[in-house]
Amino acid sequence: MSLQDKYREVLNLGEELGVKDGYVKEEDGFLKIGGTTKTQYEKNILWDKIKEIGGEKPADLKADIRVEDKENYHVHTVKSGDTLSGISKKYYGKAGNYMHIFNANRDQLDNPDLIKPGQALKIPFPKA
């Protein structure tokens, strides 16, 4: 099996995420991949998939993944049925951090219970 086949799910995920300037090279026993994700959240998703396939420190892969938007952890477009607590759970693993998102979006939100489909909400970096 080639390294590209081994890491096919990572390559497909990169395409789904729309990684810019992406490249894939197999040389010297390594798969070399790189490109630019929109946000740190997307970079983290790619690394999680890399580690799922190759382990915590893959010995057969070298990755150079950069991030375009360094101001926000992610930008979430609200869909019907979304709540701030649900969005918080998705990005932070805890529903209770919804006020962190609300406070970052006070320019467009007056009430944490009133979000509308189509709104682009800034998701701040998780607090340490």
Domains and CATH numbers, the chain: 3-67 (3.30.1340.30), 74-123 (3.10.350.10)
∠ CA 101-94-41, rounded to 5°? 65
Strand partners, 34: 23, 64
Q: What is the pLDDT of residues 25-71, one digit of tens each?
A: 999 999 999 999 999 999 999 999 999 999 999 999 999 999 999 99
* 1 band by pLDDT with thresholds 50, 70 and 90: confident
Token digits of residue 120 = 């682009």
Give the pLDDT confidence score for residue 127 in this predicted structure: 83
Whether the pLDDT of residue 128 is over 80: the answer is no
Query: Residue 84: what pLDDT?
Result: 98
What is the Cα–Cα distance from 25 to 34, expressed in whole angstroms?
9
Cα of 107 vs its chain's centroid, Å = 24
Pull the structure tokens for residue 121: 């909400």
pTM summary value: 0.91
Task: Yes or no: say if 30 and 60 are a contact pair by the CB < 8 Å rule.
Answer: yes
| Signed CA dihedral, 79, 72, 18, 8: sign only | negative
Q: What is the pLDDT of residues 68-96, one digit of tens each?
A: 999 999 999 999 999 999 999 999 999 99
